[in-house]
A and B are shown apart, each in its own frame.
Chain A
C-alpha cells in the first residue's frame, strides 16, 4: 500500500503558492493570538491575491498547553473570517501536520486552495515544564523531565556513539546563527557564545530560543497554483511517521521514522540540494542528517532553522515555508523540508519540493 494517496504519476499536483511569518520575538504580551496571526494571514493571502472567504479549506496547528486555555484555537479563528461558515480543521500539534491534512484534502480533489497556519506563544508559560505534560502520564510525566534534559540524553548518546562531540555541536549552533543574520524574521542571529551548560552536554547555544510567533502557507492545486503565483513550489511527496514514545526502547542516535517518511516522500529518488530541518537542538541535526543521508553538498537550514527562532507549533510549518521560498526564489532546485514533534524526534514529517519545469 502506498503511503501517499495514489502513485505520484496519477496524483494531482499541489504547490505552496505563498508563505508568510511573523517577526519572531521572545514575548508578544502586547497582542492576543488572533492579533499575532492576523497580519501574517493577510500577508500570505495578499501574496496569493486572495481574500478571506475565497479559500476552500483552512487548517491550523496550535497547542492549548502553550496557551494554557482549552480550545484556544477557536479564538484564533476570529482572524480567519470564519463567517459565513468555512471548511475548517485543526491539529493539536505543529502546523506542518495541518499542512499535511490540507495537502491530502487538495489531493482528493474536493478543494483547489487551502490556507494553513500555525502559531505559538511560548512566553505564556515555562515551556520546558509545559512540554513535560506531553509525556507518558504513568512512567514519565510524574518525574517532570523537561525538554532540554531529554534532548541532552540524546546528545550524550550521540557523543558516546562517536557521532558528534561538543565542538561539532558548537559548530552547528554557530552556523545556524550566522545564517540567521540574513533572515529578518529570526530571533537569534549573528555570533552567539556557546554559553553555560543548560543541561550537560547541551549549552545555551545548543538550545532554541524561547519564541512567540506565527506562520501561514497557501496551497493550491494544478493550474490554480500557476494562476496564483509565478513560480509555485510543487510538493512532490510528503509523509509522516511516528516511533515508540518511551525513550528507553529507542535508539536515540538514529531516526528510523524520519528515514521511512523520507523514503515514502520520495526524498531518496533524486538528491536534494537544500534542506530545512526542524532540529530544535543542535544534536538533533546530527541525527537527522544521518537518517536523511544528507552530505556536505546539501545546504542545511539557510534560514537558521529552529535554533534561530522556535515559535512552537509553527516551527515545522516554517521549515516547509522556507524550503518553498528557496524553490520559488530559484535558490534551490529540489528542497527537503522536515518537521518534528514529541520528545527526542519521536514523530517526523518529510516533504520534497521542486520548482517547474520538472
Chain B
C-alpha cells in the first residue's frame, strides 16, 4: 500500500505514514501439566493440579504460584462451575471468543479453588451475575488449545463434587501449540525522515546538519546522536558518493528479485558525514572495491534509488573517506 501523508505543521509540509503489519506465528512447546490440560480439553475433560497444601488450580500450572514448588498431581474437575467475577463486552474485538456481545468471566470449576478466564454467551448483562452457574460449551473442532472451550453458557443444575485423581494420560497427547498473532500499526517516521523521503521521491538526497558538531546526517533522524540536539538545517548531498566498505551477498533473500551474488555497500555521499547503504550494480561483483565512485540509478517512478553504479571517475583516496569507514 502506498504511504499516505498529511500536513500537521508548516515546518514539515508532508508527514508520511504507512501501514505496518507485524505477524508472528509462535510455536510453543508444552510442559507435562499444560500438555495434559490442553489434551484433556480436546477430549472434553477438564484437569487441574493439586498444590502441596491441597488447593486445586484450574487452569493448572507447573509450579505453585505461592511456593514455586514443582507440582504434578493432576486431578479431574467438573465441566460446570461458578462465575467469580464478570464484565460485559458490548463490542467484541478481533480474535475474541465470540463475535456477538458477551461477558468475560472468571469461572471456578466445580472441584477447583482458582478460576479460569473465558467468555460467557448470555443474552445480555442482566442475565449475568457473580455466583451464577455455568457450564462449558465445547468447540466443534478441538485441537488441544484453550479455544477448545468455545465459551461458557448458563447452566441450572448441580455440578460434580470434589476433584478426583487423574493420571493425565491420553492417546496422542498435544505437545505444542502454535499461537498466531497479528497486530496492525500505522508507522510514522516523523519530521526529519518524512522530509528525507519526500526529497528522495524527487530524486534529491537531503541530509540534516547538527548545529553543534556541524556533521551532516544522511538519512537524518531528527537528532545528532553525538550531541543529543535536534538537527534542523537541510543540506542536499550527493548525488555521487564513494564506497567506504561492502560485502558480497551470496544467499538469495525471500521475495527479492535480484540474482546473487551481488554487492551491498556503505556509500558516503559527497557532503555527507554518515554513510548510507545500498546495492551496487552495473559492475561485476568481484570488481567492487573501497573508494569506488558511484551514483544512484532511478527506475520508473521509484521513490528511492534502485541501486548505485560506478561513475567512471578515478577511485577516491582512502584519506578522503577513512573517517566514514
Contacts from A to B (Cβ < 8 Å): 29-35, 38-39, 41-42, 51-53, 65, 67-69, 75, 77-84, 123-126, 128-130, 133, 137-146, 149-150, 152-157, 160, 197, 199-202, 244, 246-249, 252
Contact = CB atoms under 8 A, between A and B. Distances in A.
A149 B104 contact: yes
B225 A200 contact: no
Contacts of B93: 126, 128-129, 144, 146
B211 to A, nearest CB: 13
Contacts of B223: 34-35, 38, 78-79
Given A125-B183, A129-B183, A31 B221 contact: no
B225 A124 contact: no
Contacts of A35: 190-192, 222-223, 230
A243 to B, nearest CB: 8
Nearest to A30: B8
Nearest to B85: A157
Contact of A137 (B9, B28, B188): B28
A52 B85 contact: no
A254 B34 CA distance: 28
A51 B224 CA distance: 14
A165 B213 CA distance: 59
A139 B95 contact: no
Q: Which one of B114, B181, B228 has the greatest number of beta carbons of chain A within 10 Å?
A: B228
A57 to B, nearest CB: 15
Contact of B188 (A124, A129, A142, A252): A124
Given A142-B145, A142-B179, A199-B104, A32 B191 contact: yes
Contacts of A69: 20, 187
Contact of A152 (B61, B104, B108, B222): B104
Contacts, number: 198
A138 B38 contact: yes
B117 A80 contact: no
23 contacts: A29-B188, A30-B15, A34-B222, A35-B222, A38-B229, A52-B227, A68-B20, A69-B187, A78-B225, A79-B223, A79-B228, A133-B183, A138-B146, A139-B117, A143-B146, A145-B104, A146-B93, A149-B104, A152-B87, A154-B85, A156-B85, A200-B90, A248-B108
B171 interface: no
A124 B147 contact: no
A30 B191 contact: yes
Q: Which one of B6, B106, B130 has the greatest number of beta carbons of chain A within 10 Å?
A: B106
Nearest to B93: A146
A123 B84 CA distance: 34
Interface residues of B, number: 69
Given A52-B227, A249-B57, A199 B185 contact: no
A126 B184 contact: yes
Contacts of B221: 32, 34, 75, 78
A138 B177 contact: yes
B17 to A, nearest CB: 6
B28 A153 contact: no
Given A29-B6, A129-B94, A248 B116 contact: yes
A38 B191 contact: no
A138 B34 contact: yes
B117 A68 contact: no
B277 to A, nearest CB: 16
Given A138-B30, A138-B177, 4 more contacts: A29-B6, A78-B222, A199-B88, A200-B88
